Amino acid sequence: MKIGKHTVVTLHYKLQEGSAEGELIEETTGGDPLVYLQGIGQMIPEFERQLTGKGPGDTFAFGIESAEAYGDYEEEAKVKIPIETFIIDGELATDLLQVGRTIPMRDDEGSMIYGTVLEVGDKEVFMDFNHPMAGVDLFFTGQIEEVRAATPTEIDHGHVHGPGGHHH
């Protein structure tokens, strides 16, 4: 079977910054493989496009520019937030306000976003809402281990069930 929409893909990969000679970001070889459901938006669209049509045993090597991955780094995504925002049950959440810590928050529309604390002041917290990989060109190499048709339940739930996937 070849990779296409609504297939469950099992693969091992190595992710490096920029090129095959770039700094290692992460690798699954020697550990659990990546298992995902193709065609539902779980992965970077260009990652899925590059793997479409490949089958078990096929290898891959491709780059994805930052704009097509996690986006370009945007200075305007660094903002100052009033310290009162971090008062929970009447107390300042000092355990959350550690420089370098990434914390979940909600934007004006109620969507979950993640911000990294850059600096904590007396009146404001300076945070970076860029994805940690924003501005980074990616280079993937690896091998497809298995491809199978997704079950109707997996498609309905939007994730893989069983080994390497979600367990209810």
Summarize pLDDT for 68-127 with one digit per residue, the tens. Answer: 999 999 999 999 999 999 998 999 988 889 999 999 998 888 888 999 999 999 999 999
Residues whose CB falls within 8 Å of the CB of residue 129, separated by 6 or more in sequence, listed in order: 77, 78, 79, 113, 114, 115, 116
pTM for this prediction:
0.80
What's the pLDDT score for residue 110? 87
What's the pLDDT score for residue 167? 47
The domain spans of the chain are 7-70+133-157, 75-128
Question: Which two tokens mark 161?
Answer: 């069930």
Task: List, in sequence order, every beta strand (DSSP E) within 46-133.
Answer: 59-64, 78-82, 87-88, 91-92, 102-106, 112-120, 124-128
Question: Which two tokens mark 15?
Answer: 């992710």
Could you give the count of Cα atoms lying within 13 Å of 24 in the half-sphere of its Cβ?
6
Q: How confident is the model at residue 30 (pLDDT cuts 50, 70, 90)?
A: confident
Tell the burial category of 64 from Cβ atoms under 10 Å away from its Cβ (0-12, 13-18, 19+). Answer: buried
Architecture of domain 75-128: Beta Barrel (2.40)
Task: Give the whole-angstrom CA distance, residue 19 versus residue 136.
Answer: 11
Q: How confident is the model at residue 166 (pLDDT cuts 50, 70, 90)?
A: low
Q: Are 124 and 1 in contact (CB under 8 A)?
A: no
Domain 7-70+133-157 classification at class level? alpha beta
